[in-house]
A and B are shown apart, each in its own frame.
Chain A
Amino acid sequence: MNLIDLQIKKIKRNKQLGLMVHAVVGYPTQEKSEMLIRSLINRKVDFLELQIPFSDPIADGPTIVRASEKALKRGTNTDSVLELIGKLRGDIHIPVIIMAYYNSILSYGLVKFCRKAKKLNISGLIVPDMPPEEEDRERFIQTSFEYGLYPIRVVSPSSSKKRLEINTRYAKGFIYSVSHFGVTGSGVKIGNDLVGYINEVKKTVRLPIAVGFGIEKKEQVEKLNDIADIAVVGSAIIRNYEKGGLNRLKLFIKELKEGTIY
């Protein structure tokens, strides 16, 4: 069984909102990135999303763009990312999901990448620029499944009913719902718009819902309790780290965690 499913069972049993935290691997340096990720997993978060930095991340806002640039400048690449995950793997007891832009995987070799990811006990892949319409030619979803990786599907408030169906047809684990019209790190109000849209998603697919993009405060996480199953926090982690290093980051995660058992 995929670790994602086990973890979801666990958070359901505990009647709590899952917390997925995100890090750009190699940011700000390979060594500090390791410490940053370690401090995240020591805070008892539920899912870990690790992003392979890419030169042209079209769905990301300024915070993750800058972090990716920094990581690339320091020589981070797909091999060094996988290496770091390997080094940490023994200490990570939650599902790890790799977020990457498709070209990082394509240039590495889809099969080679999936094989290595499986070896590292990775649970899923989030590839925002790989829509199901290209599956016939790319065989991304199929190959992911062959190696036991869940290709997490992303939906957004602009998705029509038909697109929700297309996107969720092969979905496993959970659905990643982009919270609003915007890129990562741009703040979002948890209000009626979001509730209405998440309800539409729920009508189409019976999988847990993760909500991400612009989640940066405990209050938002608290509100998500009634709406979704997992809260995803990315840019705000980098911003807190930049403001106050690991100490501030620890406090921030602690606060978010409090929000999940609201």
Chain B
Amino acid sequence: MIFNFKTLYDGDTCGHFGQYGGRFAPKGIFSFQTSYDGDRNGHFGQYGGRFAPEMLIPALEELENVYIRAKKDREFEREFMSYLTGFAGRPTPLTFAANLTRRLGGAKIYLKNEGLNLSGAHKITHCIGQAMLAKRMGKKRLIAETGAGQHGKAVATVAAKFGFECTVYMGERDIERQRPNVFWMQRLGAKVKPVSFGTKTLKDATNAALKDWITNVHDSHYLLGSTVGPHPFPSINRDFQSVVGMEVEEQVKKIEGKLPNYLIACVGGGSNSMGLFYRFLDKKSVRLVGVEAGGRGVSKKGGHAVRFSGGKKGVVEGYKSVFLQDRYGNLSPTHSVSAGLDYPGIGPQLAHLKNEGRVQFTYATDREVLAAFSLLAKTEGIICALESAHAVAFALKLAPTLSKNKIIVVNLSGAGDKDIFIIAEALKDKEWIEFLKGKSHL
């Protein structure tokens, strides 16, 4: 029986024991290409590009060059994968939502649970990748913007792990909404700088971070948190995040023996959605759906963040894409119950994929999102981020319209712990409010 005995801690067929051992089998993360990729200057169709002030262009070129070199370096992929498995906790599970599926009576719903990543969201993945690039460039400090605080927390996490100083810019309004993440960023050693100009949300935090970068460009790396901004950020973050879709493909094939019919993800700038979609872009049988933040409804000006309803082409924060803006090109105020989706711009590749008809877009309103959040928690035991609940909300509508042999994969981009204050307030939870009142005497 000696040679039949197995434990949970044994190696895989290549002899990997977690992050250790084994022959490294490259997954081709950085050599993978699709017919929807950008040109040499990061243009995706009519979008993208590098509309940066001269002060930043050399830094963007440096980043691009170090990335091009890293892509060709097998050691880079090996190191990236070892951080993902040994530090971030990848792969994240693909969970069959049996109860939800039964209840809706249609397509099978699978949940890609990115909330189980270290720091609670998919964001850690591109943070690890960019931190490795920042090391290669010899930078000492990381700068970041954050909306929900998830990206900021992930940046603070890699800063601690890799030994960088770290400054995170966050709009005053978001600080109020996402206080728990501010607290954790500070515990991780990051300086959180409140941004008090403009709409005091994500776009203004991005502005503030860009200004810091302009000032400290020689020793600091701007760890931009989504598939937005000037070239090469949209492509770099997409490539790092593509491990999400890569894992989903392996997992769903293993469980179901075939590709899924639908992939659904919420869309702020696009990092979790592009991460899920990228590996499937040229697999035309798989339908891709992005869900934007419908807020109080698209008829309410300033009450939503649905770029594809009322947005138009523009160049802001270094890239060309579709932006919610007024007649004169000033960005419009946005609203969403989730702090991570109320951004007036969208990743340039997603705008291109929309034009090409490869990705469909829809939106979910705040009310639908809160209902989806609650239903998921009670039926599947998963407390997801309000951002991710947008994707769930659309799945709830879609699944009953499809036959039982169809498969839907929903990206749960993050965990909902951070949203405790917003959700308690939205659900008007009396006991929690009483509890807070009690605490306020401290």
Chain A bound to chain B: yes
**Contact assessment for B197 and A65 in the assembled complex, using a CB-CB cutoff below 8 Å:** yes
Complex alpha-carbon distance, A164 and B362, angstroms:
45
**Contact assessment for A77 and B214 in the assembled complex, using a CB-CB cutoff below 8 Å:** no
Counting CB contacts under 8 A, is A148 at the interface? no
> Quick one: which of A54, A66, A155, A183 contacts B215, CB cutoff 8 A?
A183
Contacts of B28 in A (CB 8 A): none
Chain A: minimal CB distance from B139 (Å): 14
Counting CB contacts under 8 A, is A56 at the interface? yes
Q: Which of A11-19, A101-109, A219-227 lines the interface with chain B?
A: A101-109
- Known: A131-B51, A131-B57, A159-B54. Is A61-B329 also a contact (CB below 8 A)? no
Counting CB contacts under 8 A, is B58 at the interface? yes
Counting CB contacts under 8 A, is B269 at the interface? no
Contacts of B203 in A (CB 8 A): 56
**Contact assessment for B198 and A134 in the assembled complex, using a CB-CB cutoff below 8 Å:** no
Contact with A along B327-341 (1 / 0, CB 8 A): 111110000000000
**Contact assessment for A108 and B329 in the assembled complex, using a CB-CB cutoff below 8 Å:** yes
- Which chain A residues have a beta carbon within 8 Å of chain B's beta carbons? 54-62, 65-66, 69, 72, 77-79, 101-104, 106-108, 128-131, 133-134, 137, 154-156, 158-160, 163, 167, 178, 181-183, 186
Contacts of A55 in B (CB 8 A): 198, 330-331
Contacts of B216 in A (CB 8 A): 181
- Known: A65-B197, A69-B197, A77-B328. Is A58-B211 also a contact (CB below 8 A)? yes
**Contact assessment for B214 and A183 in the assembled complex, using a CB-CB cutoff below 8 Å:** yes
Complex alpha-carbon distance, A229 and B323, angstroms:
39
> Quick one: which of A58, A72, A137, A163 contacts B53, CB cutoff 8 A?
A58
> Quick one: which of B59, B198, B218, B314 contacts A69, CB cutoff 8 A?
B198
Complex alpha-carbon distance, A154 and B55, angstroms:
9
**Contact assessment for B210 and A58 in the assembled complex, using a CB-CB cutoff below 8 Å:** yes
The 10 closest A-B pairs by CB, nearest first: A107-B329, A55-B330, A103-B329, A77-B328, A156-B55, A128-B53, A158-B58, A59-B53, A182-B215, A55-B331
Complex alpha-carbon distance, A69 and B198, angstroms:
7
**Contact assessment for B51 and A102 in the assembled complex, using a CB-CB cutoff below 8 Å:** yes
**Contact assessment for B54 and A56 in the assembled complex, using a CB-CB cutoff below 8 Å:** no
Contacts of A163 in B (CB 8 A): 54, 57-58
A-B contact pairs, 17 of them (CB 8 A): A56-B198, A56-B204, A72-B330, A77-B328, A106-B314, A107-B312, A107-B329, A128-B53, A128-B54, A131-B54, A131-B57, A133-B57, A156-B54, A158-B54, A167-B54, A181-B216, A181-B217
**Contact assessment for A107 and B218 in the assembled complex, using a CB-CB cutoff below 8 Å:** no
**Contact assessment for A107 and B54 in the assembled complex, using a CB-CB cutoff below 8 Å:** no
**Contact assessment for B317 and A58 in the assembled complex, using a CB-CB cutoff below 8 Å:** yes
> Quick one: which of A59, A66, A134 contacts B197, CB cutoff 8 A?
A66
Contacts of A65 in B (CB 8 A): 197-198
- Known: A137-B43, A181-B216. Is A54-B330 also a contact (CB below 8 A)? yes
Complex alpha-carbon distance, A182 and B56, angstroms:
11
Most chain-B CB neighbours within 10 Å: which of A56, A137, A154, A182?
A56
Contacts of B51 in A (CB 8 A): 102, 129-131, 134
| Nearest B-chain residue to A182, judged by Cβ | B215
Chain B: minimal CB distance from A194 (Å): 15
Contact with A along B241-271 (1 / 0, CB 8 A): 0000000000000000000000000000000
Chain A: minimal CB distance from B378 (Å): 41
- Which chain B residues have a beta carbon within 8 Å of chain A's beta carbons? 41, 43, 49-59, 197-198, 203-204, 207, 210-211, 214-218, 312-318, 323, 325, 327-331
**Contact assessment for A56 and B207 in the assembled complex, using a CB-CB cutoff below 8 Å:** yes
**Contact assessment for B54 and A155 in the assembled complex, using a CB-CB cutoff below 8 Å:** yes
Contacts of A69 in B (CB 8 A): 197-198
Complex alpha-carbon distance, A254 and B52, angstroms:
35
| Nearest B-chain residue to A61, judged by Cβ | B211
Complex alpha-carbon distance, A72 and B329, angstroms:
12
Contacts of A167 in B (CB 8 A): 54
**Contact assessment for B214 and A102 in the assembled complex, using a CB-CB cutoff below 8 Å:** no
Chain B: minimal CB distance from A100 (Å): 9
**Contact assessment for A160 and B315 in the assembled complex, using a CB-CB cutoff below 8 Å:** no
> Quick one: which of B53, B59, B329 contacts A104, CB cutoff 8 A?
B329
Contacts of B49 in A (CB 8 A): 133-134, 137
Given contacts A103-B316, A158-B54, 10 further A-B contacts (CB under 8 A): A56-B203, A106-B313, A131-B51, A133-B57, A160-B58, A163-B57, A178-B54, A181-B214, A181-B218, A186-B215
**Contact assessment for A129 and B52 in the assembled complex, using a CB-CB cutoff below 8 Å:** yes
| Nearest B-chain residue to A104, judged by Cβ | B329
Contacts of B329 in A (CB 8 A): 54, 78, 101, 103-104, 106-108
Complex alpha-carbon distance, A158 and B62, angstroms:
11
Complex alpha-carbon distance, A59 and B56, angstroms:
10
- Known: A58-B207, A102-B51, A158-B58. Is A107-B328 also a contact (CB below 8 A)? yes
| Nearest A-chain residue to B57, judged by Cβ | A131
Most chain-A CB neighbours within 10 Å: which of B197, B215, B325, B330?
B330
Most chain-A CB neighbours within 10 Å: which of B50, B211, B315, B329?
B329
Chain B: minimal CB distance from A182 (Å): 5
Complex alpha-carbon distance, A158 and B214, angstroms:
10
Contacts of B218 in A (CB 8 A): 158, 181
**Contact assessment for A131 and B198 in the assembled complex, using a CB-CB cutoff below 8 Å:** no
Contacts of B327 in A (CB 8 A): 77, 107
**Contact assessment for B58 and A131 in the assembled complex, using a CB-CB cutoff below 8 Å:** no
Chain A: minimal CB distance from B324 (Å): 11
Chain B: minimal CB distance from A115 (Å): 17
| Nearest A-chain residue to B331, judged by Cβ | A55
**Contact assessment for B59 and A158 in the assembled complex, using a CB-CB cutoff below 8 Å:** yes
Chain B: minimal CB distance from A74 (Å): 13
Contacts of A156 in B (CB 8 A): 53-55
Contacts of B328 in A (CB 8 A): 77-79, 104, 107-108
Complex alpha-carbon distance, A132 and B49, angstroms:
12
Contacts of B331 in A (CB 8 A): 55-56
Chain B: minimal CB distance from A57 (Å): 8
> Quick one: which of A56, A57, A77, A181 contacts B55, CB cutoff 8 A?
A181
Contacts of B215 in A (CB 8 A): 181-183, 186
- Known: A106-B315, A134-B51. Is A158-B217 also a contact (CB below 8 A)? yes
Contacts of B316 in A (CB 8 A): 56, 101, 103
**Contact assessment for A183 and B50 in the assembled complex, using a CB-CB cutoff below 8 Å:** no
**Contact assessment for B41 and A133 in the assembled complex, using a CB-CB cutoff below 8 Å:** yes
| Nearest B-chain residue to A54, judged by Cβ | B330
| Nearest B-chain residue to A180, judged by Cβ | B215
